[in-house]
Each structure stands twice: as structure tokens, then as C-alpha cells.
Amino acid sequence: MASTAEEKFELITRRLDEVLGGDLIKAILAEGKTPKCYWGSAPTGRPHIGYFVPLTKIADFLRADVDVTILLADVHAFLDNLKAPLELVAYRTQYYKKLLLAVFTSLGIPTSKLRFVEGSSYQLSREYNLDNYKLCTIVTEHDAKKAGAEVVKQVESPLLSGLIYPGMQALDEQYLDCDFQFGGVDQRKIFTFAELYLPRLGYRKRAHLMNPMVPGLAGGKMSSSDPNSKIDFLDPPEVVRRKIKSAFCEEGNTTQNGVLAFVKAVLIPISELRIERLQGKTGADAEEGAGAVGEQTPFVLEGAPKGTVFSIFRKEEHGGSLHYSNFDALEADFAAKKVHPKDLKTAVADAIVRLLDPIRQMFEADEEWQKVEKLAYPDPNAKAEKKKKVKVYHPPPPGKGKNTQPAETTAASEDGAHFAAEAAKQEGSS
């Protein structure tokens, strides 16, 4: 698999929403060189299962012998309108790394081939900041704002930090020495911004690869900031099933259907990945699957026809189980109301539970990760512990305190004692 330049390019670009500058990658492959890419994530809210889309795609890059860098964009997280306060960024960066490593392991993707880099390790350097200042002298406010429109949190009074964000992401391509940057289609405006402005600094133009975005469970974009639109990687089975049960999945409606879209963007690609691995089609990545944790079988029922990539269980009295070799056939059946939303939801919930089970087990076995999770995402409803005031005894100054007598009384008693002593002396002498 992927033995020629053409096959490698096909593997690198399959299932993507869009490719900009594909000829740059083809030229590198034609020369027999190893392409280098980076995928970045700003550690803000808790990552949701929509991350399966880019993380699964990274398996294709490794199969095509691509050098992959994972950027933990901690500085970007802080700049994005305080989605992650500075005091939490360090903990969230640790949490993201732990989680990403667990997801890769659950997918059978060898983490030894991945390079993890924190943005602050080079973005605070003199050279990087000088380049950032140079960008500020040539980038217009209009271009900076437009570039970050779909990525940077939009507020009524935009902060300057949000305008700096796109320029830094462009500079990352140079400082991480990549040939192409990989991200969601929501990053497109930042990618075209980088293609325009990096050459103006004297740096070469890079290619850009974009994966599709998974709609949220209630329609619209799946977002870390909207708990009703997403499923977290650490959600237990009962929470997963409850969220899928309440997700928007109208019978016959194939638009803005997060449940159906998840099958296309995540479940079928993972099924195909596992089927190809069983067939020994892992290309340059001979280590794929070696350290995998959890069940690695495709989402296919026993006895399914050859070529099936996704199955839906149904009782015999309801027509028996359904098997699909591609998404288009499933979508057509759903549109024709041959697949009931309840049956689809049950199949998807079962598959997600299987996907998340090994990740949750790794979390429960890792005390350090558990501690980091609490520090990174403290419970906003937790009541602060009231500290009991410890009474400290301070001795009263001389002449003060409970047993101290008034000065006049003390003086009178001292005088009385003196007179009594003198009277006794006189009686003794007479």
C-alpha cells in the first residue's frame, strides 16, 4: 500500500474536504523525500469526539511515510479571548497531551512516530517575536480579523489578541519546518492568510489539507463550549446513550444530522482503517496496531457480507440487520426512510461506547492524568472549603487580664498590708 508517489498522495489526501497546494506535496513525493506536516490544537475546552476525524486521518499520513508534528498551541489558547485563563493553560496542555496519546493508542496509531511540541517552547523566542512584529507591519486589521473569523471567538469588542492569532498560526508553519498544515475546513481563511503573507516575509508557501467538520448533536458545529452539542472522550456509556438518544435525527432528514454525519466522518473511516490493517495494508507504518488498546474490530456485525464497513442491528421481525459497504448507500436508505432513526442511534451509540471504553480505562488507571484533569477543569460549582480560624493565645500585658485587679484596689490593699505590718512591729516592741 502506498508504494509509489501517486499512491502516497492518494492516501494523504483521501476523505479530505479540500486540498490547497497539492502540487507542492506531489513535488516532494516525486523527489523521493519525506513530507512533513503539523496539526495543531489549542488546549481550551475539553476535547470532544469530533477530534476523532483529524486524529484518525493521521494514520493515513504515517502510512504514507509523512513526518507528523502535533502542536499543543498553549499561547494560542490564551490569546483566543481568554477561553483558557493563563493559570489553567499549563494544566490543560498536560491534559490534552495525555488525552491525545490515549486516543492514538486506542486507534492503534504508534505514538513513537509523533512529535509533540508546545507552542511556548519557540513562540516566546526573540526570532519568532521579531517575525511576528514584521507581520504586524504588513497585515491589515481587515485581513487579520477576516482570517480568524471562524476560529477565534467573536465578541462585540474584539481584543487585539484575536488579531495576532492568525499571524502566529502562519508563522508556526515556518518554525515547525512543515511542508503542509492539516486542520479542519473551518481553518481555511487562516490557511489562505498564511499562503499570502509567509512569502512576503521571505518564507516559502506551504500546502494546506482540510478535513470535514462533524455537526453537533443538536445541529450546527460540534463545540467544546456547548455541552449539548458534543460527547466528551471521558463520557461514560450511560451519558453517551442519553446524548445520542436526544440528538437531532429526524426521519428521512439527512441535512445537519450529527448522528448520520458521525457515521460518515468517524465510524466508517475507522472501520476501513481496521479492515485494511487486518489485510496488512499499513504502508510505511509497520508498527500500526502493535500497541493498540481496546477492541480493534470494524463496526460490522457477525455474518455481514464481504465489503461491509458499517452494520445496523435490527430484529428479524423488523426486516433484519442492515449492512453497508459505503456511506452513500446508508444515506440513501435513511433519506428513503428505510432506516429508522432509533435503529441508527442505537448502532452509533454502541460504536461510540466501544471507541471510548479503552480511553476511559486508561484515564481511570492513570492517577496523574486524573489529578491534571481536576486542575485543568475545576468544578465551577464546587464550594470553597471554609478554613477554621485557629485561636492563638496571646498573654495579656502586665496589669491586664481577667484576674487583674483595678489599680486603686491594688494600691489600697498594699497600703493596708503595710500598716498591719507596722502595727505588729510596734506591739512586739512594747
pLDDT for res 422: 56
Specify if 362 maps to a domain: yes
Domain range for 143: 5-376
Over residues 251-278, the mean pLDDT reads 95
* Lookup: cell for 191: 490557511
Specify if 384 maps to a domain: no
Q: Which CATH number belongs to the domain containing residue 208 in this structure? A: 3.40.50.620
Specify if 424 maps to a domain: no
The string of pLDDT tens digits covering residues 331-350 is: 999 999 999 999 999 999 99
- The domain tally of the chain equals 1
Nearest to 194 by CA among 213, 174, 211: 174
The string of pLDDT tens digits covering residues 135-144 is: 999 999 999 9
Specify if 302 maps to a domain: yes
The string of pLDDT tens digits covering residues 45-97 is: 999 999 999 999 999 999 999 999 999 999 999 998 666 788 899 999 999 99
**Using CA atoms, how far apart are residues 251 and 267, in angstroms rounded to an integer?**
20
The string of pLDDT tens digits covering residues 113-123 is: 999 999 999 99
**Whether 43 contacts 84, CB under 8 Å:** yes
pLDDT for res 157: 79
**Using CA atoms, how far apart are residues 33 and 25, in angstroms rounded to an integer?**
10
pLDDT for res 156: 75
- In this model, does residue 238 exceed pLDDT 90? yes
Specify if 65 maps to a domain: yes
* Lookup: cell for 291: 500497541
Specify if 186 maps to a domain: yes
CA distances to 2, 17, 125, 208, 263 from 53, in Å: 21, 11, 32, 16, 11
- In this model, does residue 416 exceed pLDDT 90? no
- pLDDT band for position 430 (50/70/90)? very low
pTM of the complete model: 0.85
Over residues 17-42, the mean pLDDT reads 97
- In this model, does residue 423 exceed pLDDT 90? no
Q: In what order do the strands lie in the sheet with 36-41?
A: 18-20, 207-211, 180-184, 36-41, 67-72, 114-118
